[in-house]
């Protein structure tokens, strides 16, 4: 019996692990001996976890709550470590799955490895390349400790490899967030707020704010909200803002001030929406303004222009395909982007359709939960082949059975996850002579980075094998 523990540290984590949980449930129904528990590091009465969230995602509520709720990140890290250590001591676990880069996620990762339990990281390889940011430290620690790294795109895969992760540990399985959205598309519900404010699809904007660096800075909030409000009023477009916490309080105070000045605010504050309603609202918006990387990813998938109130994104693909623009906390850049969007001059938006291949390979996922579960429960690939940098290659395709016979040769995994839902890996394998002998390298032959053309070696050829794995 494979015993899996899946840990979520915040509301968005549940959305990303839902495909894995559904895959486990399907495997159980098929007779596979797998059990799991869903653990939340926070409290059971967390207001961000609306009662409908788990029903919308098709998963059950957490089996265990660590009950940690602390504004100080260092203190939170210590409390989560203590509570999760007790959990592992009381619950036999083979694999712990964590997601993203929260302080609580790092705490769980540290305890997992101290307890000698295998660790898998979903959304590995994301980087801001700014070590002064707390989340960057979290990412480095989590990836460094993980036994299996699941990346969302080619760039993430490359980062993990460049930082020295063993190739047998890194798998590009696709974007679980997008995989989840695709699964729930038919269930999305047109929210009542659209009828309440007479909103038509494609004629309104959505605003989300949650990043502490912004909401805790009154001067920045004033500048940014003022720009959003002014540009929306001038264009006659409503900005729907499902906010909570400090962001909610500030915007409500701003609206009250506007009304006293006889200005009709362009921002309409609404109650936080359930997951399916929010997904519909953002998918059919004219544009989105957000400080959330997840919301930006969803916007890219839906082809909706997005203005991100941050100077960087861990998912640069959203910028490359043209839907996402980074304006940091700069009100002037925000103004320029909003004007371009509201005037219909978002020219880069066309790149979404011009770069479908890039979009497919880097943003969209498909059956990623199944791929992750397969690799966690079987791990054939890491055991099958010894890995080493390829020397040169020719493209060739064979079935899995053909490849299994080459376990004594050298290979390098290139890609994983494919559109049809099966998991693929491309291996570059040095095959030997027919008698199985491998070519021996001469001194100075290790550095192949400068080679432009394949080097012919007697009795040798470099072959790419596409290995397809399916769940039985």
pTM of this prediction? 0.72
pLDDT in tens, 300-338: 888 899 999 998 887 777 887 788 999 999 999 999 999
| Domain ranges for the chain | 2-175, 187-362, 380-469
Least confident of 71-75, 187-191, 315-319: 315-319
pLDDT average, residue stretch 358-378: 65
pLDDT in tens, 164-174: 666 668 887 77
Summary mean pLDDT of the chain: 77
Looking at domain 187-362, which CATH architecture does it have?
3-Layer(aba) Sandwich (3.40)
The HSE-up count of residue 387 (CA atoms within 13 Å, CB side) is 17
pLDDT computed for residue 366 by the predictor:
53
pLDDT computed for residue 158 by the predictor:
67
pLDDT in tens, 56-67: 999 999 999 999
pLDDT computed for residue 317 by the predictor:
75
Compute, in degrees rounded to 10, the torsion defined by CA atoms 156, 161, 165, 170: 60
- Round to whole Å and give the CA distance between 16 and 386: 31
pLDDT computed for residue 144 by the predictor:
92
What share of the chain in percent tops pLDDT 70? 72
pLDDT average, residue stretch 151-177: 73
pLDDT computed for residue 451 by the predictor:
32
pLDDT computed for residue 446 by the predictor:
33
pLDDT computed for residue 379 by the predictor:
57
pLDDT at 445 over 60: no
CATH homologous superfamily, domain 2-175: Glycogen Phosphorylase B; (3.40.50.2000)
pLDDT average, residue stretch 462-467: 33
pLDDT in tens, 380-434: 433 332 222 232 233 323 333 333 332 322 333 333 333 333 333 333 333 343 3
pLDDT computed for residue 134 by the predictor:
81
pLDDT at 442 over 70: no
pLDDT computed for residue 4 by the predictor:
97
pLDDT computed for residue 155 by the predictor:
65
7 or 392, higher pLDDT: 7
pLDDT at 357 over 50: no
pLDDT in tens, 77-96: 999 999 999 999 999 999 99
pLDDT computed for residue 51 by the predictor:
82
pLDDT in tens, 221-265: 999 999 999 999 999 999 999 998 899 999 999 888 877 766 677
Q: Which phi and psi (to 5°) does residue 305 adopt?
A: -55, 140
- Round to whole Å and give the CA distance between 127 and 183: 27
Domains 2-175 and 187-362 share a fold: yes
pLDDT in tens, 98-147: 999 999 999 999 999 999 999 999 988 888 787 888 888 999 999 999 99
Confidence of residue 153 (pLDDT cuts 50, 70, 90): low
pLDDT at 269 over 70: yes
Residues 6+ apart with CB under 8 A from 141: 106, 109, 110
pLDDT in tens, 36-48: 999 999 999 999 8
């Amino acid at each position: 019996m494979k015993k899996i523990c899946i840990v979520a540290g915040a509301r968005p984590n549940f959305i990303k692990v839902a495909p894995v949980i559904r895959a486990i449930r399907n495997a159980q129904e098929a007779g596979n001996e797998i059990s799991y528990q869903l653990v939340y590091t926070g409290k059971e009465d967390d207001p961000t976890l609306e009662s409908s969230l788990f029903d919308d995602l098709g998963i059950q509520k957490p089996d265990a709550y660590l009950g940690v709720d602390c504004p100080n990140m260092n203190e939170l890290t210590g409390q989560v470590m203590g509570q999760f250590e007790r959990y592992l001591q009381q619950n036999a676990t083979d694999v712990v799955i964590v997601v993203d880069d929260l302080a609580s996620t790092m705490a769980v990762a540290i305890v997992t490895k101290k307890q000698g339990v295998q660790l898998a990281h979903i959304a590995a390889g994301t980087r801001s390349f700014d070590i002064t940011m707390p989340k960057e430290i979290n990412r480095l620690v989590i990836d460094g400790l993980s036994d299996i790294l699941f990346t969302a795109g080619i760039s993430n895969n490359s980062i993990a490899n460049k930082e020295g992760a063993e190739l047998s540990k890194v798998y590009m399985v696709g974007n679980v967030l997008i995989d989840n959205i695709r699964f729930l598309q038919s269930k999305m519900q047109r929210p009542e707020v659209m009828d309440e404010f007479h909103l038509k699809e494609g004629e309104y904007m959505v605003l989300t704010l949650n990043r502490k660096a912004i909401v805790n800075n009154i001067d920045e909030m004033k500048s940014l909200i003022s720009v959003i409000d002014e540009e929306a009023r001038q264009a006659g477009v409503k900005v729907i803002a499902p906010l909570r916490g400090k962001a909610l309080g500030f915007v409500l105070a701003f609206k009250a001030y506007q009304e006293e000045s006889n200005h009709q605010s362009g921002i309409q504050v609404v109650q936080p929406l359930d997951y399916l309603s929010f997904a519909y609202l953002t998918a059919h918006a004219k544009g989105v303004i957000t400080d959330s990387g997840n919301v930006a990813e969803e916007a890219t998938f839906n082809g909706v222009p997005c203005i991100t109130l941050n100077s960087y994104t861990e998912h640069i693909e959203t910028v490359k395909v043209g839907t996402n623009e980074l304006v940091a906390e700069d009100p002037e850049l925000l103004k320029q982007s909003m004007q371009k969007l509201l005037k219909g001059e978002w020219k880069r938006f066309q790149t979404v359709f011009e770069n479908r291949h890039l979009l497919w390979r880097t943003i969209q996922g498909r059956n990623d939960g199944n791929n992750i579960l397969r690799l966690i429960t079987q791990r054939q690939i890491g055991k099958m082949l010894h890995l080493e940098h390829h020397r040169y290659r020719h493209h060739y395709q064979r079935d899995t059975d053909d490849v299994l016979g080459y376990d004594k040769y050298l290979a390098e995994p290139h890609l994983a996850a494919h559109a049809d839902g099966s998991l693929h890996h491309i291996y570059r394998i040095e095959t030997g002579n027919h008698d199985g002998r491998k070519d021996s390298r001469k001194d100075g032959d290790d550095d192949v980075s400068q080679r432009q053309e394949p080097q012919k070696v007697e009795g040798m050829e470099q072959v790419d094998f596409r290995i397809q794995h399916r769940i039985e």
